[in-house]
Amino acid sequence: MKTLKFAAAFVVAFAGQALADPAEGVWKTQVDDGAYAHVTMKKCGSAVCGTISRTFNASGEYKSPNLGKQIVRSMKPLGGGKYEGKVWRPSNNKIYYGKIDLGGNSLKLAGCIAGGLLCSKQTWTRIK
């Protein structure tokens, strides 16, 4: 009986961790148009979405009008650290076909046109 209670407690304690997506967390973007951001990635249904949670420029942290906006949209996991979905580029207010290639604490994000033939890429670094 003690073994069964321990097993149940273990499952309850670690169930949330087992369901976490590897892309979840806070990521620092590369500088784009003189600024960079921290993006908080969370599950959104069966996909992963990222919202701008902090913004920085040469003077330090500032209150960008883009705070709270979703930059990574409906990225569906394909396996092997790869995702496909949409990305929004704040500087031109356009949405692109997006790809993520995740490896450890490095997230390679691409926003593409022409069916993925022409892409602009950034490498983001995990903060937490």
pLDDT per residue as tens digits for the range 78-88:
999 999 999 99
- Tell me: the pLDDT tens digits for 25-57? 999 999 988 999 999 999 999 999 999 999 999
> Per the structure block, which two tokens stand in for 89?
């580029």
pLDDT, residue 14, reads: 41
Mean pLDDT of 58-85: 96
Q: Assess contact for 96 and 4: CB atoms under 8 A.
A: no
pLDDT tier at 15, thresholds 50, 70, 90: very low
> Per the structure block, which two tokens stand in for 11?
């499952």
Residue 114 φ/ψ, nearest 5 degrees: 55, 45
Alpha-carbon distance 58 to 28, whole Å? 15
Q: Assess contact for 109 and 99: CB atoms under 8 A.
A: yes
Report the predicted TM-score, pTM, of the whole model to 2 decimal places.
0.81
Residue of higher predicted confidence among 91 and 29: 29
Q: How many CB atoms lie within 10 A of CB 27?
A: 25
